[in-house]
Amino acid sequence: MKKYVCLVCGYVYDPAVGDPVGGIPAGTAFEDLPDSWVCPECGAAKEMFEPEEAQAGAVP
């Protein structure tokens, strides 16, 4: 499962870890997060996340 990065604050959502503080168990794919889920660090909505490798690939 892919990691996703918040483009607003840099927080990385790692499905292997989930978001335990936010009540999301380990093993939850990013796609399966509820629409109401927000970035725990900055409050940004899900659409502000990008797959990690896509973002890394953009840096020369």
Chain residues binding other proteins by CB under 8 A are: 7-11, 20-21, 40-44, 48, 50, 55, 58-60
Q: How far is the CB of 57 from other proteins (least distance, A)?
A: 9
Distance from CA of residue 47 to its chain's centroid? 10
Which CB, 16 or 21, lies closer to other proteins?
Answer: 21
Least distance CB 15 / other proteins (angstroms): 17
How would DSSP label each residue in 3-35?
-EEETTT--EE-TTT-BGGGTB-TT--GGGS-T
Q: Which of 34, 51, 43 is nearest to 9 (CA)?
A: 43
Minimum Å distance from CB 37 to other proteins? 13
